[in-house]
């Protein structure tokens, strides 16, 4: 078995076997790294380099596992496989939110997702290329530029360059740049002006930085509850608007065409499992589709939404502006002490308004009989209790209770009502 080790500083040839094992860069996508390794070590092509690595690990107990490139590279660089998969591949994004207990570096997972791309093209930022060459002496493919829906470099806020040729990612971005072998994503910056697109890009980058997986079922239920509040339909049958219809309304068509083209093929009101299924928690949830739904349903959400476990409410409700005492007094007087009318005018809960007014010395007057109201009016205008007791049909218990709790503005409310 080859004794392979990684140089920590600059790319250096190992004299015993002649390999160059470059340091892997921050946020470097593993397929791009493999291309750098193969080129620097002088392999004829990537297949030859891949076969060489497989032979190099032939004595390993886990020989079969090393048929998969991400695990070969992790071994080559002496990086724990789960750390390598998490930081340098797209496996965490491509797996379902509710997946099996198998770790990301398990061969069953790597065999289907290990080398997959999330977009139909490889992407790089021209400014990043120049900066990397100035600082590192080499350009490399950033994983954050390969994420679904990401059309700009979030560092430079510049459109990403797209390369669609076969195996393009095995060559350095600088090579494609110098050969003009790319197309500029002219929808990137324009799309990022849309707040939902920007929020999506922030969330998907935050997800890639997480140490744990998203609770897809809990997030799906949270999104479904919000969808119901908005009057959206979450099931196949029905006539109301669907989440997929809302996505088409909120996201720019050019951005959707580039990153989520299948969404544009659906008809208005037609249930689309790929997108509307994000609101059905029993479905296997796609991380990308959950993140796509989040900005339009929960526009104020931030990265904390990704840690939502179902037992907390990460999105706080907007609190209503606190009412001043003057507002309460004015409404009490103008509505003649009628709690129902007061609460309606202030858009507040009647029970809470009644309790608050009572604590301030403003009893409810809306249900008072004319006789009791006249007695109160007479009392506030100077009549003695003996004189008031002579007024027929007074509800003495209500009269006494109002006198006990009433404040200075009760007389104004009574006089206001009496004057109508």
> Over the chain, what is the mean pLDDT?
80
Choice between 383 and 205, residue whose per-residue pLDDT is larger: 205
What's the average model confidence in pLDDT over 109-120? 80
What's the pLDDT band for 3 if we cut at 50, 70, 90? Answer: very low
Is the pLDDT at 161 greater than 90? The verdict is yes
Q: Which is higher by pLDDT, 281 or 106?
A: 281
pLDDT in tens, 389-419: 778 877 777 777 676 656 556 666 666 544 4
Does residue 342 contact residue 372 with C-beta atoms inside 8 Å?
no
pLDDT of residue 191: 81
What are 230-243's pLDDT values in tens digits? 999 988 888 899 99
Per mean pLDDT, which of 48-52, 104-108, 307-311 is the most reliable?
48-52
pLDDT at 312: 39
Decide if pLDDT at 46 tops 80.
Answer: yes
- What integer is the mean pLDDT of 383-394? 77
Of residues 368 and 319, the one with the higher pLDDT is 368
Which pLDDT score is estimated for 418? 47
pLDDT at 14 over 60: no
Whether 172 shows a pLDDT value over 90: the answer reads yes
The answer to whether residue 360 scores a pLDDT higher than 70 is no
Q: What is the pLDDT of residue 248?
A: 96
- Tell me which of 315 and 284 has the higher pLDDT: 284
What's residue 340's pLDDT? 80
Which residue has 């589709």 as its token pair?
289
| Residue 132 CB contacts under 8 Å (≥ 6 apart), including other chains | 25, 138, 139, 140
Average pLDDT over residues 13-23: 63
Per residue in 89-99, pLDDT tens?
999 888 877 65
First CA to last CA across the chain, in angstroms?
A: 101
What per-residue confidence (pLDDT) applies to 16?
42
116-153 tens-digit pLDDT: 888 989 999 999 999 999 998 999 999 999 999 999 99
For residue 151, what are the CA distances in angstroms to 121, 179, 197, 220? 11, 21, 10, 26
* pLDDT value of residue 338: 81
Q: How confident is the model at residue 247 (pLDDT cuts 50, 70, 90)?
A: very high
The reported pLDDT for the residue numbered 256 is 94
pLDDT of 308 strictly over 90: no
């Amino acid at each position: 078995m080859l004794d392979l080790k990684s140089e920590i500083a600059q790319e250096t040839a190992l004299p015993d076997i002649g390999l160059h094992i470059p340091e892997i860069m921050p946020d470097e996508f593993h397929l791009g790294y493999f291309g750098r390794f193969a080129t620097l070590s002088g392999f004829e092509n990537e297949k030859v380099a891949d076969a060489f690595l497989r032979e190099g690990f032939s004595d390993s107990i886990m020989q079969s596992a090393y048929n998969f490139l991400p695990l070969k590279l992790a071994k080559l660089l002496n990086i724990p496989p789960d750390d390598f998969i998490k930081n340098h591949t797209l496996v965490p994004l491509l797996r379902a939110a509710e997946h099996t207990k198998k770790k990301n570096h398990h061969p069953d997972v790597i065999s289907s997702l290990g080398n997959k791309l999330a977009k139909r093209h490889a992407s790089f930022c021209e400014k990043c290329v120049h900066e990397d060459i100035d600082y590192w002496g080499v350009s490399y493919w950033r994983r954050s530029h390969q994420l679904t829906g990401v059309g700009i470099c979030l560092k430079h806020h510049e459109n990403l360059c797209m390369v669609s040729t076969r195996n393009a990612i095995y060559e350095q971005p600088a090579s494609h740049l110098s050969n003009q072998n790319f197309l500029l994503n002219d929808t990137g910056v324009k799309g990022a002006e849309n707040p939902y697109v920007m929020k999506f890009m922030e969330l998907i980058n935050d997800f890639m930085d997480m140490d744990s997986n998203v609770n897809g079922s809990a997030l799906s239920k949270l999104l479904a509850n919000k969808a119901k509040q908005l009057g959206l339909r979450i099931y196949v049958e029905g006539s109301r608007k669907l989440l997929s219809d809302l996505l088409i309304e909120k996201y720019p068509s050019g951005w959707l065409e580039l990153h989520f083209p299948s969404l544009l093929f659906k008809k208005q009101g037609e249930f689309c499992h790929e997108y509307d299924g994000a609101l059905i928690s029993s479905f296997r949830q796609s991380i990308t589709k959950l993140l796509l739904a989040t900005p339009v349903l929960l526009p104020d959400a931030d990265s904390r939404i990704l840690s939502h476990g179902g037992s907390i409410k990460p999105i706080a409700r907007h609190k209503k502006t606190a009412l001043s005492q003057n507002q309460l007094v004015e409404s009490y007087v103008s509505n003649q002490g009628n709690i129902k009318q007061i609460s309606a005018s202030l858009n507040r809960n009647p029970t809470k308004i009644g309790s608050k007014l009572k604590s301030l010395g403003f009893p409810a007057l809306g249900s008072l009989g004319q006789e009791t109201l006249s007695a109160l009016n007479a009392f506030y205008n100077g009549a003695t209790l003996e004189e008031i007791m002579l007024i027929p049909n007074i509800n003495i218990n209500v009269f006494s209770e109002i006198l006990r709790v009433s404040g200075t503005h009760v007389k104004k409310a009574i006089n206001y009502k009496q004057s109508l």
